[in-house]
Amino acid sequence: MRAIPTLKISISGVRGVIGDSLTPALLTRFAQAFGTYVGSGTIVIGRDTRTSGEMVRQAVIAGLLSSGCHVIDLDVCPAPTVQLIVRQRHAQGGIVITASHNPAEWNALKFVNSEGLFLSVGQARELLDIYHQGDYTKIAGREMRDVETFTGALDAHINAILSSIGALPQTSRRLKIALDSCNGAGSIIAPRMIEALGAEVIAINTTPDGSFPRGAEPTPENLTRLCRLVKESGADAGFAQDMDADRLAVVAETGEPIGEDYTLALAARYVLSKTPGAVVANLSTTSAMDDVARMFNSPLYRSKIGEANVTEMMRQVGAVIGGEGNGGVIYPRVNFCRDSLVGMALILRLFTETGRTVTELLADLPRYKMIKEKLECPSSKIGEILKMIRSEYAGHQLDLRDGVKVSFEDGWLHVRGSNTEPIIRLVAEARDETQARRILDAVFARVGQALK
């Protein structure tokens, strides 16, 4: 079988395996291209805790300086912190150095525009055109600017959350929260923010050394230690982050992970109870979002996958909250991006103001079972696979905006190629696991066979 490429260049940025496809020369060229794209302006950079991060950071700084940029270096910090500081400092852009949920050997560059948003499809294509053409802005050594080290970014992020969402109301009992930051970019800021809000925190995996104590994605199978901590400590809930701290998963007071999709459902429930309005979620987000929106007579809009697509639609419809079913909460009043820290603050406010547990809050909603699978798939094969799916389910309601989403009376199926990995993703949801598995199994084997 042909080896799967370890370099992915797409509208989501560039990512690859360090020591294989993601080389210092390539990283520097991409930084030069971005510096050229923004017109040699001010660029904010930050990174997660991966052990390759320092090498990538230096390559990026070299490329930006050579193209005439002023660099504001935040060093290790969450991806949403970079986006916040881009806006606060009126920078022309930002670069987040993180491979997010990818394994430790991967790293990546994610590009941010002057509004603190990840590049839109059109903007990303402009950047890629500059990169491929190779005609970058070049300045002489005497014109190069110093790198500015900014150490106040984490405090600025916490203060923005406190200003917009507020500390927790005083009650007779202080909330206790268990936290797992995966030794990633949220390791320092998350415990500080929870304490600043007024809750007690019991933390594990908050040593920012990039050692990956568990799988990077905050999925149920990776949270067994956090689940045990919640039960043993009597915590009111558990919070888990990924490596760049833009995604949040919640563990109930019983020690049971509730699934990443319900992070957005809980956050939206709090926001809509205060400010009913439009909500945006992507095509692969749970149907529970429809139920939450109906509770508050609010419209729900579905976007293509990807933070840039969600934020673009949120702006179009004036959404009060939005996000993705991978634990990404986007609350424009604080940060127009996925932000696990904002998600924590909103959910903690929900706990305090309702006086209810995670289990009690979820009891108000129909529960769905979602099953996710993925198969290694070269980019050249994705079109063929999607054409097969369209033909197979031609008699059903199809949404073709992002891969193929098939709606049934008792559930749905979504098949699409990943923008960040050489894989094809398959997601099915129904009211019970048996039905969700039946939906997924009906197509999984066929896709696997076609890939062979």
Residues marked as catalytic:
100
Bridge partners of residue 241, in order along the sequence: 248
Q: Are 280 and 394 in contact (CB under 8 A)?
A: no
Q: What is the DSSP letter of 4?
A: P
Q: Are 111 and 120 in contact (CB under 8 A)?
A: no
Q: Are 418 and 424 in contact (CB under 8 A)?
A: yes
Alpha helices in 23-101 (DSSP H): 24-37, 53-66, 79-88
CB atoms within 10 A of CB 66: 18
Helix, strand, coil abundance in the chain, percent, nearest 5: 40, 25, 40
Query: Which structure tokens are listed for 43?
Result: 């660029």
Going from the C-alpha of 267 to that of each of 18, 120, 262, 383, 413, the distances in angstroms are 36, 25, 9, 36, 25
Going from the C-alpha of 48 to that of each of 11, 79, 187, 380, 405, the distances in angstroms are 20, 8, 10, 31, 33
Q: How many residues does the chain have?
A: 452
| Bridging pattern class, strands 237-241 and 200-204 | unpaired
Q: What is the DSSP letter of 186?
A: T
| CA nearest to 333, candidates 167, 166, 201 | 166
Query: Which structure tokens are listed for 66?
Result: 């050579």
Bridge partners of residue 108, in order along the sequence: 15
- CA separation for the pair 418, 3 (Å, rounded): 17
- Chain mean position to CA 174: 29
Cβ-in-10-Å burial (0-12, 13-18, 19+) of 18 comes to: buried
Query: Which structure tokens are listed for 317?
Result: 């419809």
- CA separation for the pair 54, 193 (Å, rounded): 26
